[in-house]
Amino acid sequence: MESTLFLAGGFLLGCMHAMEPDHVATVSTLILRRQKLAETFCLALRWSVGHSLTLLALAVMFLALKEVFNHWDLSVAERCVGASMMVLGLWILYRQWVRPVSSNMESLHSPRAGWVLFGMGVLHGTAGSSSIIFLIPLTFSDSAGYVLGYVFLFSAGMVATMGLYSLVLNKLIWLKNFSLHVHRLRGVSAVLAIVIGFRLLAGTGPG
């Protein structure tokens, strides 16, 4: 019973973790535009998959190299995430106000945006609270199946929540009154990404 609750807790933690400010700001900068529902969902899924694969890889390495992880400095990865978020935010602002592109041209960047989100997901998977949360069960069990099951459910929670967020956001964007403000919202999300990235880079966290 306890193990079931613990694994269920992993799923709920994954749901909560997906909605952390730095994650939402990063994903929002690239999905806040009018596009097909499937495209929006796939973009959000790229981030979730990148994050999840990294956690899975870290879990496997932790089981084999526990002593190495005891001395792992997570702040280095967190600063890399911060720098990447700042670059992403500045890139979005540049594309919107310095060198704007048409909606037809913007659609051509969807594959690139997907890989950017995948890479950001990988970076997020190695830094900050995600690594701390994911390391908790590894300290309580030496069972590979138990640990990997926890990581799988944690990742499933992230995928489900981020997928739901992208679906809701896509529906809102197509509403007439909401769509008028999409350009501004993308700018706001880009600024938030820069601010949160700066705080991560400075070592103060997303708040």
Q: What is the mean pLDDT of residues 98-120?
A: 63
Q: What is the mean pLDDT of residues 164-182?
A: 78
Q: At what angle do helices 110-125 and 74-93 cross, to 10 degrees?
A: 160
Output 115 or 175, whichever has higher pLDDT. 115
pLDDT confidence of 172, banded at 50, 70, 90? confident
Q: What is the mean pLDDT of residues 184-204?
A: 80
Q: Is residue 25 part of a domain?
A: yes
Q: Is residue 180 part of a domain?
A: yes
Q: Is residue 21 part of a domain?
A: yes
Which of 23-32, 123-132, 180-189, 190-199 has the least mean pLDDT? Answer: 123-132
Task: Answer yes or no: are the C-beta atoms of 31 and 182 closer than 8 Å.
Answer: no
End-to-end CA distance of the chain: 35
Q: Give me the pLDDT at residue 105, please.
A: 37
Mean pLDDT for all residues in the chain: 75
pLDDT confidence of 194, banded at 50, 70, 90? confident
Nearest to 33 by CA among 101, 106, 98: 106
Q: Which H or E run includes 128?
A: helix 128-135
Q: Is residue 10 part of a domain?
A: yes
Q: How far is 148 from 181, CA to CA, in rounded Å?
A: 42
Please report where in the chains the tokens 């106000």 appear, as a residue: 97
pLDDT confidence of 156, banded at 50, 70, 90? very high
Q: What is the mean pLDDT of residues 10-19?
A: 82
Q: What is the mean pLDDT of residues 149-174?
A: 87
Q: Is residue 150 part of a domain?
A: yes
Q: Is residue 91 part of a domain?
A: yes
Q: How far is 188 from 75, CA to CA, in rounded Å?
A: 26
- Give the CA-trace dihedral at 83, 194, 115, 135, to 10 degrees: 60
Q: Which two tokens stand for residue 136?
A: 């908790």
Q: What is the mean pLDDT of residues 108-121?
A: 75
Task: Tell me: pLDDT of 166 over 60.
Answer: yes
Q: Is residue 207 part of a domain?
A: no
Residues spanned by the domain of 98: 2-202
Q: Give me the pLDDT at residue 160, please.
A: 92
pLDDT confidence of 83, banded at 50, 70, 90? confident
Task: Tell me: pLDDT of 199 over 60.
Answer: yes
Q: What is the pLDDT of residues 20-79, one digit of tens each?
A: 878 888 888 878 777 788 888 888 899 999 988 988 888 787 777 765 555 555 566 667
Which of 64-73, 96-105, 125-134, 156-165 has the least mean pLDDT? Answer: 96-105
Total domain count, the chain: 1
Q: Is residue 72 part of a domain?
A: yes
